[in-house]
Amino acid sequence: MSELDADIEQTLISTEQIREKIGELAAQIDADYADREPMLVGVLKGAAMFMSDLARALERPSTMEFMAVSSYGSGTQSSGVVRILKDLDRDIADQDVLIVEDIIDSGLTLSWLLKNLRSRHPRSIRIVTLLRKPDALKVDISVDYVGFDIPNEFVVGYGLDYAERYRDLPYIGRLRPAVYGG
Ligand code: PRP
Ligand code: MN
Ligand code: MG
């Protein structure tokens, strides 16, 4: 139980469902990277929880890197103009990069990131996201591993924030409109 529970209108994906799904994703990734060691590249801050649980669910060893980006734009909408707040510490040339995202919404952040990382010549580059909103996508991105497709609603928890809060909820839910003044 969290004190934040009271602000949640409905649970969309429970802690147990997240755990199970991560197990399935990890099994697929283990199989696909049979002779490789993926370099997990987490996109801060949203992907922090997913990244740490996914890395521990994999049987194969992996390495972890983080990038922090911010997309210019108002409120909850991303604009596609992205600024690097924290770059990778290591060179990714010849690495098998697996980008780890919590959610693909418009897809603009990831589309920019893919272009940016591809220009650094990794050996391979794939994407795993826990959540995707098919109805919100503005760009065509092929995503290799998707946990859940969800409706185009504002969700929080398990890394996803509203005004930087609710990331620490262990499940994913819909905020009560009263919380954001609705
Ligand atoms: C959120 C989310 C994704 C991105 C998805 O990050 O974690 O990274 O937006 O949006 P898009 O597909 O429309 O580009 P945010 O920029 O809110 O930063 P955060 O991870 O620190 O919360
Ligand atoms: Mn993010
Ligand atoms: Mg955010």
Residue of 51, 76, 105 to test ligand 1 pocket, by largest number of atoms within 8 Å of CB: 105
In this structure, the residue with its CA closest to atom 20 of ligand 1 is: 46
**Total number of domains in the chain:** 1
- What is the C-alpha to C-alpha distance for residues 35 and 33, in angstroms, rounded to an integer? 6
CA gyration radius for the chain?
16
Q: Nearest bound ligand to CA 109?
A: 1
Q: Is the peptide bond before 45 cis (omega within 30 degrees of 0)?
A: yes
Tens-digit pLDDT profile for the chain (182 aa)? Answer: 889 999 999 999 999 999 999 999 999 999 999 999 999 999 999 999 999 999 999 999 999 999 999 876 655 666 678 899 999 999 999 999 999 999 999 999 999 999 999 999 999 999 999 999 999 999 999 999 999 999 999 999 999 999 999 999 999 999 999 998 87
- The parent domain of residue 52 ranges over 3-180
Tokens of 151: 């409706």
What pTM did the predictor assign? 0.95
CATH of the domain at 36: 3.40.50.2020
Judged by DSSP in three states, 135 sits in helix
CA 137 to ligand 1: nearest atom: 12
